[in-house]
Structures are given as structure tokens and as C-alpha cells.
Structure 1
Amino acid sequence: MKRSASAHLELVAHGPAELVLSVAVAADASATELLAIVQNNTALTYRDVLDAHGTRLQLVSVQAGRIDIDYTVEVSGESGPAEVSDIDLVRYLRPSRYIESDHLWPTAHAEFRGLTGTDLLNAITSWVGTHLSYVPGASLPTDGAVRTLLSRQGVCRDYAHLVIAFLRAHDVPARLVSAYAPGLSPMDFHAVAEAYLDGAWQVVDATGLAPRQSLLRIATGRDAADTAFLSSAGAAIQLNVLTVTAVADVLPRDDVTRLARLA
């Protein structure tokens, strides 16, 4: 499978700031890519820092004014299966900033009592997909799984947070992945869950908006705090334009009842 993706960001910095970008695909030797960060017609130098699970962060210093960021990538073939470590199976069982699995334990066990394995995974995915409404702009960047459950609406990261919370409450390690998603509509950065089942990380997407087999991993972590496409320190940063594209030469047909791994 050949997949390509791009991201274009137009920012305004209100003073000197340090930016942390997470727009490049996870480390993969089969990727051909280009990243340009430009301010005042000058290409800025950035540092590529490796985080967990192959996540790559781009660190750059900027001054006050407009910044244009352009990233393109083409990936041929599929990456190998995600590695599994003992510490990951501990880390991704614990509650985290946006995934209050301890608070949602009673709800998770009332709704999915007696289910395990694939049956549990399918039940949680179906429940979240049918009980939430996908409403762009309905949630705040600081909303966690509890607020999503109460409001019954949100976007992909909210769906993924709630799925992960229910899984962790049932002692299934689960984590968040940001990705480029060929077939996604409306097109944007996408967020899905990964659950540790049958000895491997399995992709879970309760939104059903894009085939899981076509996803291109960007970042992996506990929740959206670890996978944000942009964070900053210093002056305020204003995001004026965000355009994302993702296409595949062959778009897979996804059977949501079957396990799938992020390729």
C-alpha cells in the first residue's frame, strides 16, 4: 500500500516562543518526507527529538510574527507490528490526564459485565460509537473521558479517550495514537485507540470514519497530552490555518468486527 499525507499550519506568535510539533510520521525507514518551518521568508532550524514508540517531535524557536509549517510524506509498504514492553503494559493500565478510568470503573463494569477479550473490545467500540454524537467544536481541549461521557458528544480524541477509559477499567492496557487517516471525512489529524489483546496492539476506532488499515502513525501515548500536534512555551501562539490531507492508492475495506493492527 502506498500512502501520502501532508499538513499545512499557519501560526502567529505574539512574542518569542518555543514550539513543539508532532506532525511527522513515527520513525519508519520506508518514509520519504519533507518538513519546512518558515518565518519572515527564512527557513528555521529545528531539532528532531525521538519520544516513545518512535514518536518524533520537532523543536523550534520562533520570534513574534507569522510562521508557516509544511510537511509532506510518502510511505510505501507497511511497518512492522508495534513493539510491546512490560512497562507499557503497566503504564497504559493507569488513569491519566484525560482518561479517568478510575472514576469510570463503576460505569464500565455495569455496562460490560462479564465480557472479555474480543467480545469486550467490540462491545466497548459499539457502545461508544452509538452513544456519542460526532460534533466538531462541541468539546474543549481540556475535556476528558468523564466529561465526554456526560455530554455524549465530541470528536475523535473524545471517542478514543472514552474507549481507552473503559478498557483500562477492565484491566486491558490501552493507549492513544494520533495518525494521518486516508479516507477520513472531514479530513484532519485523527485519533484512535490501541488495545493490548491477543499479545499485540490492536487498533480501535469507535468513530468508524476511516479504515484502520490505512492509518499512518504519528504519535503514541497515554492520552492527548502525549500526542498533541502543537504545544508551546513562552508567548501565546495563535493557529490561523490547519490543512491536512491523507490518501492511499488502495483504500482498504474495514470490517469493524475483526481485529486490526496499525500498519
Structure 2
Amino acid sequence: MRFNIEARLAYAFATPCEVLLLLEAARSDDQIVHAETLILPPQAEMARLDDDGNGERRAVFVANGRADITYSAQVEVLPRNATLAGERAAAIRELPSEALPYLRSSRYCPSDRFTRFVDRQFGRFAGGDKVAAILNWIGQEVDYVAGVSDASTTALDTFVDRAGVCRDFTHLAISLCRAADIPARAVSAYAWRLEPPDLHAVAEVYLGGRWRLIDPTGLAPIDGLVRVATGLDAADIAFMTIFGSAQLIEQSFEICELAARAA
């Protein structure tokens, strides 16, 4: 599937600030960036801090006054196997070194607090079946409700409140998977068919010898996700990090499918 994506941001900066952007589609094995344009304020000096390991595309620039930012791209998402049933979870000793950090607790994912619950609730399952059971439990027990969480909300808060948005669903799924000794990490993505359009927080779990995308909210098809960034939790995948302060003027995100080309 091939998609057009576009992000438009407008912020006001009272004083010069450095800004880190994570808006650009990642260069990864499961998607191809065919064309893209990043437009920053005139005279903005940009530096690249790309992460070759995850294919992330990071841009840093200095903003002052009104800053208008536009990113557009045409991205092809290759077929993904979203099947979880029957997939094997690797023993810790079999995991690649790059997966090991995603077994540990992090700022928004205190997985060590969920070990007893996971053992009792999901102990009869293994591997991909356990992840599927976790996602099913979240879908039944947690309501998608805007405004009940904020930037400080952790997976433990969401577990208690039983409500949140994509970020909260993702943090809870990651925490439960890590508590089950299954590596899990956060992913930001442009999400086809998500309403309203936004940068969507989803997750990846390491099963069957590779990373597999999952959407704990169930709101977007896996083949309609254009990945941007990956990390331990939301702190690592924010689309904009401002080293200072700024006021939001407006922002929008769009993704639409391109018609298949005739053979």
C-alpha cells in the first residue's frame, strides 16, 4: 500500500529555542520512502541526528518568533504479518542485544509493578497467544476517552483509571508484555483510517525472531501504519521536543492511500 502523508505545524517562540523533530517517515525494512519534503522556517539552520539503527530521521533547528513547519512524503508500506497466534517468544538468552532494553521498566511503563497480575491473568498463555490475550483484555477493560490523562500519566495510572487515549493504551500494553518477559517498545506512526487524523502511538513486540507491530487501541490497520520513531515509551517518540518554551498556534496530520498503479 502506498500513502501520501503530511504534517503541518505552527508554533510561536518568544525567545530562540532549539527544536528536535521526529516527523519524518523512518527508513525501515517494512516501508519505502519514495519522495519527501521537509520545510522549515527561512534561515533556520538544521542539523541531522538520524538513528541508523532504527531508521529514525531526526532534525534539529533553532526557532524564533513564528515557526511554520511542513513535512510531506510518499511512502510505500510493504505487506506485514500481523498474526500473533502461535508465535514463539524467545528465551532471554536467545534475544538480540538490541531487544534487551525493551524488557525493562521505563518512565511511563513500570512493568515491574505488573508481574503478579500478568502471571495470574495470562499465565496459561505463551508467546503470541499471550500478547493476543493481553490486547483482548485491554480492549475489554480500558475505554478510549480523551481528557482523562495527561503527559504525566503512566501505565499504572491507566490500569487504575481504565481509560485513556492511544498513548495510554500503548504504555499499558508495553508494560504487560514486558512483565511477561516479552520485549515491547513504543512506536509513533501516521495511521491510515484513524479519526481524527493524528500521529498515533502503537507498539511493537519481539516474537518469532522479529519485531511485530500491534495497535492496542485497535483503531488503525497494521498495514496502514507509517512508522516514524521507536523507543522505550512516549518520552522517546515525541514528534517535537522543544528545549525552551513555545505556544501552539495550529497543527494537523494527514494520511491518504494512493490508488494502485495499473500493471
For the aligned pair, the TM-score class normalised by the smaller chain equals: 0.7 to 0.9
Q: How many residues align?
A: 244
Distance across 2 between alignment mates of 1:244 and 1:22? 13
1:44-93 per-residue CA deviation (whole Å, 9 max, x = no partner) reads 23122112401111100122x21111110101352899xx9722221110
Distance across 1 between alignment mates of 2:223 and 2:74? 16
Moved over 6 A (4+): none
C-alpha contact (below 8 Å) 2:10/2:69 kept by paired residues: yes
Match of 1:240 in 2: 249
Match of 1:59 in 2: 60
Match of 1:190 in 2: 200
C-alpha contact (below 8 Å) 2:188/2:200 kept by paired residues: yes
Match of 1:132 among 131, 142, 152: 142
Q: CA deviation at 1:24?
A: 0.4
Match of 1:7 in 2: 7
Letter in 2 for 1:150: V
C-alpha contact (below 8 Å) 1:16/1:61 kept by paired residues: yes
Q: CA deviation at 1:137?
A: 2.4
Distance across 2 between alignment mates of 1:189 and 1:241? 14
Match of 2:24 in 1: 24
Distance across 2 between alignment mates of 1:198 and 1:77? 21
C-alpha contact (below 8 Å) 2:77/2:226 kept by paired residues: no
Distance across 2 between alignment mates of 1:162 and 1:174? 11
Q: CA deviation at 1:250?
A: 6.5
Name stretches of at least 5 consecutive residues in structure 1 with no aligned partner.
252-263
Letter in 2 for 1:73: A
Letter in 2 for 1:129: G
Match of 2:158 among 142, 148, 151: 148
Match of 1:256 in 2: none
Distance across 2 between alignment mates of 1:85 and 1:57? 27
Match of 1:200 in 2: 210
Matched, 1:160 2:165: no
**Identity %, equivalent residues:** 37
**Cα RMSD, aligned residues only:** 2.1
Match of 2:187 in 1: 177
Distance across 2 between alignment mates of 1:130 and 1:185? 20
C-alpha contact (below 8 Å) 1:181/1:247 kept by paired residues: no
